[in-house]
């Protein structure tokens, strides 16, 4: 890595552009993973980034189940490390991000495949009649069970087909907005 204190002359900017292209070509394994996904699903998936040890795939919510099944069966990923919900009130969407890893395939041990999908966000969630819905991945990756329950209570994303859509951390009688939504404000902040 060169020092970035050089003055921005036209020559150095050209060099830095060339360097960026080199950096993108570096991770061969990661590139192979992303190409495998795009060759199978084509337009349905969009590769958000390919970094060292990290590949991120964005899919529509209709395709997330098929893509996850392909990731498990054909790409040797076997467990989900983390399921994160991210609220985007400006886009009127909630993003759910699965970080998928592999224990069985040693060549993938340092890889984390990020599968992200988005669900439409209703402004006022009504408990029991949730409008923000996503298909569950619990039948593909057993390990998402508690993670999806956490996303359900914290962001109000109902996972269709999840066998146990109950609250996990919050009290049973919680009657406010899902707390990790952006419009739930901390007092005094």
Partner 1 sequence: MTAELPPGLALQKVDERIMTLNVGPQHPGSGHMRIVVQIDGDYIVACDPDPGYVHRGEEKMAEYRNYITNIPHLERPVIHDSCNVLYPYVLGAEEILGIEVPERAKYVRVIASELNRCIYTQYWLAIYGIFLGHSTMFMWPAGDRELLIDLMEKMSGARVTHAHFVPGGVRNDLPANFEDACLRQVNYFEKRIKEYAAVFYDNPILISRTKDTGVLSKQDAIRLGTTGSVLRASGVDYDLRIKEPYDVYEELDVHTNVMKEGDSYARSKVPWLDMMESCNIIRQALQKMPKSGSVRTKLKPNPKTKGPETVYKRVESGRGSLGCYIVSDGKTEPYRVKMSVGSFRNLIALPYLLKGEKLGNMPSVYWSLNYWPVEADR
Q: Is residue 75 part of the contact set for partner 1 (CB under 8 A)?
A: no
Q: Is residue 187 part of the contact set for partner 1 (CB under 8 A)?
A: no
| Residues whose CB is less than 8 angstroms from the CB of residue 162 and which lie 6 or more positions away in sequence, other chains included | 136, 138, 145, 148, 149, 152
Residue 45 sits at the vertex; the CA angle it makes with 115 and 164, to the nearest 5 degrees, is 40
Q: Is residue 112 part of the contact set for partner 1 (CB under 8 A)?
A: yes
Question: Which one among 37, 80, 134, 137 touches partner 1, defined by CB under 8 A?
Answer: 80
Q: Segment contacting partner 1 (CB under 8 A): 5-13, 14-22, 31-39, 97-105? A: 97-105
Q: How many CA atoms lie within 13 A of 132 on its CB side?
A: 30
Question: Which one among 110, 123, 161, 183 touches partner 1, defined by CB under 8 A?
Answer: 110
| Residues whose CB is less than 8 angstroms from the CB of residue 24 and which lie 6 or more positions away in sequence, other chains included | 50
Smallest distance, Å, CB 19 to partner 1? 15
Q: What is the dihedral sign for C-alpha 155, 158, 161, 163?
A: positive
Supply 24's token pair.
Answer: 């993108």
Question: Which one among 27, 30, 45, 56 touches partner 1, defined by CB under 8 A?
Answer: 56
Question: Which one among 145, 148, 157, 162 touches partner 1, defined by CB under 8 A?
Answer: 145
Asked if 79 contacts 100 with a C-beta cutoff of 8 angstroms, the reply is: yes
Question: Which one among 127, 160, 161, 183 touches partner 1, defined by CB under 8 A?
Answer: 127
* DSSP structural state of residue 28: H
Binding site for partner 1 (CB under 8 A): 53-54, 56, 78-82, 84, 86-87, 97, 99, 103-104, 109-110, 112, 114, 127-128, 141-143, 145-147, 150, 165-174, 179-180, 184, 186, 189
């Amino acid at each position: 890595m060169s020092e970035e204190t050089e003055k921005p002359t036209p020559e150095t900017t050209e060099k830095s552009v060339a360097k960026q292209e080199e950096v993108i070509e570096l991770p061969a394994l990661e590139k192979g993973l992303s190409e495998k996904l795009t060759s199978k699903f084509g337009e349905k998936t969009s590769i958000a980034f390919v970094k060292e040890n990290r590949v991120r795939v964005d899919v529509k919510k209709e395709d997330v189940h098929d893509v996850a099944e392909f990731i498990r069966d054909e790409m040797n990923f076997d467990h989900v490390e983390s399921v994160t919900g991210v609220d985007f009130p400006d886009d009127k969407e909630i993003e759910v991000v699965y970080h998928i890893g592999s224990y069985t395939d040693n060549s993938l041990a340092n890889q984390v495949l990020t599968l992200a999908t988005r669900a439409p966000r209703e402004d006022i969630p009504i408990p029991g009649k949730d409008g923000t819905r996503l298909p569950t991945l619990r039948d593909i990756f057993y390990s998402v069970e508690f993670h999806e329950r956490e996303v359900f209570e914290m962001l109000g994303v109902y996972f269709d087909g999840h066998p146990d859509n109950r609250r996990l951390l919050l009290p049973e009688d919680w009657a406010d907005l899902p707390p990790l939504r952006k419009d739930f404000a901390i007092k005094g902040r």
